[in-house]
Amino acid sequence: MKTIVTTLALIGLTMASQAQEQQTDSLEGKKVEVLDEVFVSAIRVTNQTPVTFSNLTKEQIQPRNLGQDIPILMNFLPSVVTTSDAGAGVGYTGIRVRGSDATRVNVTINGIPYNDAESQGTFWVNMPDFASSTESLQLQRGVGTSTNGAGAFGASLNLLTDGVSEEAYAQISSSVGSFNTLRNNLKFSTGLLNDHVEIAGRLSRITSDGYIDRASSELESYFLQGSYKDDNTLIKALLFGGHEITYQSWFGIDAATLENDRTFNPAGIYTDENGMTQFYDKEEDNYKQDHAQLLWNEKWSSNWSSNIALHYTRGRGYFEQFKEDEDFATYGFTPITVDGTLIDQTDVIRRRWLDNDFYGTVFSANYVNDKLNFIVGGGYNKYEGDHFGEIIWARFAGNSNIRDRYYDDNSSKTDFNIYTKANYKLDDQWSLFGDLQYRAVGYKANGDDTGLVDDTFNFFNPKAGITYDLNSNNNLYFSYAVANREPNRNDYENGNPEPERLNDFELGWRYVSSNVQVSTNAYFMNYENQLVLTGELNDVGAPLRENVGDSYRLGLEIDANINLGQKFQWSPNVALSTNKNKDFVFERDGVVQNLGNTNIAYSPNVVIGNRLSYNPSENFQISALTKYVGKQYMGNIDSEASTLEAYSQTDLNIQYVIEFDSIIKSITFSGLLNNVFDQLNVTNGYFFTFDDDFSNPGTITTIEGAGFYPQAGINFLLGATINF
């Protein structure tokens, strides 16, 4: 309680997002934003849509964009909780919205699905510094509107990449910070050539040692865009991708280690031939991902327009491990005799590979008149993935050869959807919204972890809502939406998972004026067969889930943006919720027990954010940002051993722009002081139980355990951007 009182006293109550998109000129030349926004118009919403949402523009992201991942930059939005494996926002990061993890947040880039088709996760580490090529993003909480890719069970996030620039520019940006963090990037645009063609691009490199021991990151990325536009046509061809090498830090630490050595990282630990503890120096991910997109928007008349996109993603890489005393049988080795001793165990270095392709098309057509905004759209996408393991070294290898595969399986997934949505204005006050989607999913896999899978799912996802404009400043909305969703690859490890279903009710009020913007909404998300996180991880650090029957999330969200005079801006938000599994059943000490209604894992009842900004001049901004996350459980049995304690963090962000009338147009200096009060926060962890029937023969005792991911104390990032 003391933490939250301190937080509220420091910076008011909470932080928030803009309720309105604002079109402004960026430092990188004049943007043709209206044209570019058509690529996401089919899946984005406005204040006339009965959907709960938040927007972030490039200008809002820019002061804090110093190398950290997109989830960290979104940390202060309503109902958002973020975490970082390495502890400082570089490398593997995660996001939860309304208690739902990243596998349940539908992500699209220019309307094209980004979630991994099999795991349904989003791995921003594969696209480092992508915020530097993001024009804007919209986070829709709850089911939202129909979109492409996996169903949204907590939120949907759509990103729009850099808009076409009418003017040529070049930009050099560098930032340095704690834990030897270094980010460099180079951006350019030719501007519009012959009033029609633009070529733009970016190269980035980020390195960091991480807060956690050896949790290093070496990240490289690129972005290349060619655009053609005229009065009725906009065509874009994009190539972007990244290469990440990260030393693993997903093992976490137990409570005792957290207390005594919070940066300890057990990844890669082994004992050498002399009995000395060592750490393998290549216990790391090494993964590359490349994306190609071809986008075409055409305005056929004053009423009709269309979008069509083709896309292809190529991913390949591995996780390298040193493993001690492994059984020969695990790798298909034949036991050997050395000096009269039978050898059937060995130390090995192995690589677990993922080699995949994802491709398809998305499309939409839009009709607009004074009363009706009608959209029909859809997409067809296919995923093909190869999973295999290689041995690159073994102390005793028998008759094996280098890079022998000890497992080799493949999987495929097809995803087809078609939707139609309409917003119809009945009169000056009442608007009706309807949205119907059909989605067909086919998934095949043959791994040892999944077993033989050949499943087909057919989902119908209706949505409806109504908006009432009280006056030019106020409106009310109500919506009901259904979402159905297939299991992911990891769910099959636990048996035969069922698809899940969500009924989402949203009731909201919005107020917008020149100085005050307020959004308030209540929601009730009622689940059938929800696949909730169990708290456990599989052998590569991925979270495991299980069907829990009936469950629900009930909450209230309030966010605002308030101008306090000419120089101060206050953006608070608060999310209060209760998140329950109904009649949860658990086997403890060999006896099945009904625990009644228990808390859903990783679902805090209180999430508060705040941003207080002071602009002493047009070119100078100082912001204090605070986040408070209440107590949460990492399992579903309300065990105190699974508790993540409440925490808060306050960051200080400064930006100063010096403008020139020369070749150099401006220099922007940015500073970010994270965790100003040096809180020892833990934002994530895992929880497990197992039955022990050996310690006391004849009885079964349930043992509980937990691991934790500590975050960095006070740390900083400093950057400078030169605009030409």
Amino acid at position 36, single letter = D
Which residues, in sequence order, are bridge partners of residue 113? Answer: 108
Phi–psi pair at 520, nearest 5 degrees: -130, 130
How many C-beta atoms surround the C-beta of residue 323 within 10 A? 16
Look at residue 219 and give its three-state secondary structure: strand
pLDDT of residue 27: 35
Neighbours of 652 (CB within 10 A): 15
- In angstroms, the Cα distances linking 312 to 41, 204, 286, 568, 593 are 21, 22, 21, 45, 49
Residue 37, pLDDT score: 76
pLDDT along the chain (724 residues), means of 10: 38 34 42 67 88 93 94 95 96 95 94 94 94 95 91 91 94 97 97 94 97 97 96 95 96 95 95 91 96 96 94 97 93 88 92 96 95 95 96 87 90 96 94 96 92 95 96 95 94 89 96 94 96 88 89 97 94 97 91 94 97 94 97 96 96 96 94 97 94 75 93 97 96
Strand pairing class (430-445; 620-629): unpaired
CB neighbours of residue 187 within 10 Å = 21
pLDDT of residue 348: 94
- Contact status, residue 622 vs residue 653, Cβ threshold 8 Å: yes
Which alpha helices (H) appear in 193-275, and where do they start and end? 255-260
Q: Which DSSP string corresponds to 500-513?
A: EEEEEEEEEEEEE-
Rounded Cα distance between 696 and 665, Å, is 75
- The domain locations on the chain are 2-723
Domain 2-723 CATH superfamily: TonB-dependent receptor, beta-barrel domain (2.40.170.20)
Are the beta carbons of 681 and 649 closer than 8 angstroms? yes
Q: What is the pLDDT of residue 714?
A: 97
Q: What are phi and psi of 20, to 5 degrees?
A: -125, 145
Q: What is the pLDDT of residue 24?
A: 35
Q: What SS3 class is residue 551?
A: strand
- State residue 88's pLDDT score: 95
Q: CA-to-CA distance for 44 and 642, rounded, in angstroms?
A: 38
Enumerate residues 6+ apart whose C-beta is below 8 A from 545: 488, 490, 491, 494, 497, 531, 532, 533, 534
In angstroms, the CA 306 to CA 39 distance is: 9
Sole residue written with tokens 């655009």 = 227
pLDDT for 39: 81
Residue type present at position 203: L
Tokens of 428: 């000056």
CB neighbour list of residue 280: distance below 8 Å, 6 or more residues apart: 268, 269, 270, 321, 322, 349
Residue whose token pair is 């998300």: 525
Q: Quick one: pLDDT at residue 32? A: 53
Question: Would you list the DSSP string of 110-131?
Answer: TTEE-S-TTT----GGGSTTGG
Q: Residue 630 has which token pair?
A: 């209440």
- Provide DSSP, 331-371: HTPPPEEETTEEE-EEEEEEEEEEEEEEEEEEEEEEEE-SS
Classify residue 98 as left (phi > 0), alpha (psi -120 to 50) or beta. Answer: left
CA 40 to CA 47: how far, in whole Å? 16
Q: Dmax over Cα atoms in the chain, in whole Å?
A: 92
For residue 34, the model assigns a pLDDT of 55
What confidence score (pLDDT) does residue 338 get?
Answer: 86
Q: If DSSP codes are grouped into helix, strand and coil, which group holds residue 540? A: coil
Cβ atoms within 10 Å, residue 401: 7
pLDDT at 610: 96
Instruction: Kindly report the backbone phi and psi dihedral angles of residue 489, in degrees, each rounded to the nearest multiple of 5, phi listed first.
Output: -55, -45
